[in-house]
Structure 1
């Protein structure tokens, strides 16, 4: 869907931008997340965060930029290429030069407004477990490391969300439909 979000109900809530996963990859990752993320804190479905906290003042400009990028770029190729150790958690490591280029484009557009967490290069990943004892994380990494096979896919679009007190509210998804390869 190509949509301009309605103004958020809480004007000071930050925006989150995600790289949208195809159905089969989402199903795999979300299944792992439901199985291994502490249930009392698992309020989100599996996702790849590109930006964690974009300024509320970007409410009008941000959807236009997401639409521009989705219209300009073809779906970027990607791969699950192993695991990422989060210390007290585990993530699926995603490699995608194309999505990194799209992220860099969006970052350049809003650089002066980025938080420290959103500046610089980001390791793309899908968190499947977080805020667990180190031993628990290492045990999952051992099991998944022995069974997880590399998987190729293409991101399907860019998602925009707003942070609510207990969850993210989706404001729109812009599907890739361009010709340019990032």
Structure 2
């Protein structure tokens, strides 16, 4: 198969993925919802960097403890809503990888990173505002588990898995 851009995402603990994906399935327009809920670290890395990306993710997973993380806030996206994620450990991991891949990053991946899980997108602004207000009424920050990182091919549709790298050391809650 022809090479395609590479996406890197964080792997969510199963119970947290189920919760976030339930929100996504309930609120993301079905005709556009091709993926389960996800937390993207890099949106578009070149296929030529695959070996280097694999080495970096493998090293991070082997030597770094699972980063603590929490859904800390709701984010209004204009035409959607996301769960804002705080995780200094995940930010540090992403920063190290970004520094190593600096010459391969697109402007989007070079820009300041705002970790989030999108639960709604591609709707009218009024619909997004209504969901934001509805979710805000009973929103409470909550911890989420980050268990590793995954590599994906992006070929225009659902992402195609390449590999997963699980953190081998438990983190602190």
Short-chain TM bin: over 0.9
Q: Which moved more, 1:149-158 or 1:86-95?
A: 149-158
Q: TM-score, normalised by structure 2?
A: 0.95
Tell me the TM-score normalised to structure 1 length. Answer: 0.91
CA distance in 1, matches of 2:124, 2:171: 44
The reply to whether residue 170 of structure 1 matches residue 155 of structure 2 is no
The residue that corresponds to 1:55 in the other structure is 46
Quote the offset at 1:41 in angstroms: 0.5
Q: Distance in 2 between matches of 1:116 and 1:53?
A: 10
Matched, 1:14 2:8: no
- The CA deviation at 1:18 is 0.4
List, as ranges, runs of 4+ consecutive aligned residues in structure 1 with deviation greater than 3 Å. Answer: 178-181
Q: 1:60 to 1:32 in 2, by over 3 A?
A: same
Which consecutive unaligned segments of at least 5 residues does structure 2 have? Answer: none
Counterparts of 1:127-166 in structure 2, within 5 Å, are 127-166=118-157
2:60 aligned with 1:69:
yes
Out of 84, 96, 103, the residue aligned to residue 75 of structure 2 is 84
Counterpart Cα distance in 2 of 1:180 and 1:68: 16
The runs of 5 or more residues in structure 1 that have no matched partner are 1-8
Equivalent residue of 1:143, what SS? helix
Q: Secondary structure at the match of 2:123?
A: coil
Could you say what secondary structure the match of 1:167 adopts? coil
RMSD of aligned residue pairs (Cα, Å): 1.4
Aligned partners of 2:7 and 2:43 also within 8 Å:
yes
Query: Does the Cα contact within 8 Å between 2:67 and 2:171 map onto a contact in 1?
Result: no
